[in-house]
Amino acid sequence: MGKLRLEPKVKPLVTGEEYENLLSTLRDAQADAGDNYIYFDLEENEKAKDVKKAFLFVAEKEGISVVIRQQRGVNSLVFSFKDDQGAGGTSGGSGRMSAEEARDRILSALKNAKGSLQKSEILKDTGVSSSTWNIRIKELIDSGEVKRDGERRDTRYTYAG
């Protein structure tokens, strides 16, 4: 006669040990984020998408408000932590930014700039995704809060407030 065997219907995203390692890394990164840019360098065999998913899983479970994105051209992740956890920030800890927060971040970057900025500079400073940028910058230009100068790669943006 056979033997009863149990297997979970859904494979856990991370093991208990991996969870603790990821949590420790997130807490260390969060503690140092005030005065530093935070990067997580991946091993050659690691996929950024999978590691990002694991970090976001742990962050959501622990209530850590973080935006994680892959850095282009290198095998690294970039962490951006929010000081005011949950207050108008990311929805449900999923790393997704509200429309209002994206507009506020763009405006803040432009207000604090000593001159005009290019799209790439604003995206780097704000953590806003390129797809979100396209929608929000149009809204800000249409409302008169942002001024656009130039075309294509030479386009620069200034706060018009």
Which structural domains are found in the chain, ordered by start? 16-90 (3.30.1370), 99-159 (1.10.10.10)
Query: Strand locations in 33-88, DSSP E?
Result: 38-41, 66-71, 76-81
pLDDT in tens, 97-128: 788 889 999 999 999 888 899 999 999 888 88
Question: pLDDT category, 83, cuts 50, 70, 90?
Answer: low
By the 8 A CB rule, do 15 and 51 touch? no
Distance CA(65)–CA(143), nearest Å, equals 30
0.75 exceeded by pTM: no
Neighbours of 125 (CB within 10 A): 17
As a whole number of angstroms, the distance between CA 137 and CA 121 comes to 14
Whether residue 109 contacts residue 125, with contact meaning beta carbons closer than 8 Å, is answered with yes
Cβ partners under 8 Å of residue 13, min gap 6? 53, 54, 57
Report angle CA 112, 106, 80 to the nearest 5 degrees: 90
pLDDT tens readout for residues 23-47: 999 999 998 888 788 999 999 999 9
Burial class (CB in 10 A: 0-12, 13-18, 19+), 89: middle
